[in-house]
Structure 1
Amino acid sequence: MADYPHSENVFNDVVDNLGLVISQLQDGESQQTDNSNYEKVAYWDRIEKISQSLSHEVTIISMAFSKSPYPSPENVRKMLSKLETASLALVSNFYSLPKSQGLLLRDSFKKSTLDLITKVQTFVKSIQTGMASSPEMLQKTGVVWEHSDYFSNLPKDNKRAVIELMTWSLGLLLDALRELEETMAGGGQFDDLDDLIIESGQGLSNEDEWSEEDRTLLGPCQGLIKVANYSLKKAMKATEKGGHCDTFHQISEYDDMADHIKKLSPAVDQLGIALYPPMRHRLVRAYAEHLAEILRNFLNCLGGSHITCEDDMEWLNYLHKAIEHNMEKIHTLTNDK
C-alpha cells in the first residue's frame, strides 16, 4: 500500500467489518422483535439523513486521498471510523423497521441497504488496493453518491413499494410484448441471427418459420399477454386511488399482491419464447395455461382486497372474460397437437 502502509490494518478492519454486515444482510432476516415505537415520518427522515451522512463521509475520504501527501494513519482511522459508524447506523435502522409495515417494503429497503453498503466497501477497497487519486477511486465515489441519493426516493410504505414493483414489472411486460410484435412483423425470425446463419452458408429451413397454424395460434397468445399488461395497468390505477396502509390487514394485502405480480413477467417470458419457430403447440398451451392461472389468481386477489370497490368489478370481470376467451381459442387450436 504505497504512501500509506501504516494504515493497512485499519483498512482491512473496515473492509472485513463491512463484509460481515453484508453477509448478515444476505443471509436473511434478523430475530429482532417488532418496533412498537415506529413513527413513519421520523423514521424515514432519519434514514435519509443517515444516507446523506454516509455519502458525506465518503466524500471527505475521497478528497483526502485525491492527491499526496495522504492523511496520517491516525486521521485515516478517524475518517474510516466515521464511515463505518454511518454504515452500521443504516443497517441498524433497517433492522428496526417493523415487519408489520410489510414484507415487500422491507425487501425493497434491504436491497437498497445491501447495495449501498456493498458500494461503500468497494470504495474502501479501491483505496486499500492502491487506487488513491485515480479515476477508478473517483468513479467509485460517484457510485456511492448515486446509491445514497436513491434513499430519498425509497418507497416509505407497502403501498408505494407495490406500486414500484408494478411499474418495474409493467416495463418488462411491455418489452416482451413489443419484442413479440416485432418478431411477428418479421415473420418469426431473429433478424441478426438469421443474417449470421445465411452468411455461414447454412440457410434457413422450414422449421425456422411459422406455419399457417402457428400464425393462427399467435393471435390468442398475444391477446393473453396483452391481458397481463392491461391487468397491471388497471391494478396500478386502482392501488393509487383506493389503496391504504392504515391497518395490518391492508398492508399485508400488498404482500399477497406482490407474490402474484412477481410471477407475471417470468410466465410471459416463458410463453413468448415458446412462440418462436419451431413452435411446439403442446408447450405453448401449457405455458398459456400457466400464465392464465397466474392472471386469474392476481385478479381474484385484487378483487378481494380493500383496493377495489364496486365500480372496479366491471373491468375485473372484463379481464376475467378476456382470459377465458383467449384460452378457449388456444385450447381449440392446440387440440391433438
Structure 2
Amino acid sequence: MLAVLQTGRELSGPELAARLGVSERTLRRDGERLRRLGYGIESRRGPGGGYRLTAGTRMPPLLLDDDEAVAMQVGLAIVAASGARRVKEAGGGMNDGSADGTADGPGGIAEAAEQARAKLLQLLPPRLRPRAGALHEALEVGVPSAPDVEAGALSALAQAIYDHRAVRVAHARDGEECTRREVEPHRLVHRYARWYLLAWDRTREGWRTFRVDRLHVIAPTGARFVPRAVPEGAGGEHLREAVRRGRQRVELEVSATPAEIADALPYEELELSPGEGGATRVVAHVRDAAWVPHLLAVLPGTARVLGPAEVRQAVLAQARAVLAAHDEGSTLRGDELERRGAPSPGRVDEDQEPG
C-alpha cells in the first residue's frame, strides 16, 4: 500500500484494492494499522473519496513494529562493532577474532552498517524514533575484532552466486605471493568472525574456501555455470573441516558442565562429550600447542591435557618456564638465556669455575 501511494495520487478504495489484489475490507484494516504505526495515511469516505499519503510525505517511514525496530538496531550494531578495527594478522591467535587491529577503512561493511543505523532513525515512524534513538545511544556491543570486508565485495560475490556466473579472484595471505583463480562461487559463509567464500576452483578441480578480506580482485567472467551439489553440511561444515585440517587437535578433561564450558568460550569450535566422574571431555583445534595454556586458563573448573603426548610435554615445558620466571631472584633475561643454553649474568653453571 505504501509503495503504491508513494506516487502522491489519491486512489479510490476499489481502485487501490484492485491494484493490491485485496478486498476493500482488508484495505480499510491495513490502512488503520498503518495509522496506528504512525504512517500518514489519509482516507475519505463517500463519492470522490479515497486513500493518499499526507502532504509532504516523499518517502514513507519503514513499516516496522517495536520488536523489528529493536532487532534491526541490534543487528546493525553487531555488524558495525565486528569491523570496528581492521585486524592485522597475528601469528598465532587461538581464535580468528583475537588479534588486535587498526581503524576500519572506508567502504567497509562495518562503516556501511553504522551509516545505515543512523539513517534508520530517520525512517522510523515518529512513535518509534525516541525508543530507537535511546537504544542507539545506550547500546554497546562487544564482539571479536575482525578484518573488515568491503560491502561491494560481498555484493559482487552474492550477485555472482545468484546469477551462476564464474569469477576471477586474486587471493593472497599476508606476506605470501598472490595467486589468481577462476572459481564458481556457491556460498558466502560467516564464521570465526570472518567472511568466507565457498567455491569450486576450476583450476584445481575441487572445493575451496577463501577468506573474502584476502580477495584483492573480484572480476566476473561473464561465463555461466551449472550449480554443483554443495558438500554435505553446506558451507559451514565444509569450512569447519577445512580450518581444522591445518590445526592441532587437543583433547582435554574439564571439571565443568558442557554449558559452563560453552559459555566461557563462545567463539570456539569445541567438541563436548561426557567424561568420567561428571567431568567433560573437550576436543579443541588450535593453531599450535602454545595456545593450549590459554585454553586451560579460560576454561572453568580444573582442566588437564589428555593428549596428544607432545602437546602435554609442550604445556608442561611452558608451565616450568613460567614457574622459573617467578622464582625469587629470577630474571626473565636470565631464564631466557638459560633456555637457549647460554649462562646468565650473575649465575655460575655447575661445570663452570668462577673466573
Looking at both structures, which has the greater relative contact order when contacts are Cα pairs under 8 Å and sequence separation is at least 6?
1
TM-score of the two chains, using structure 1 as the length reference: 0.20
Q: Which has more strand, going by share of residues?
A: 2
TM-score of the two chains, using structure 2 as the length reference: 0.20
Q: Which has more helix, going by share of residues?
A: 1
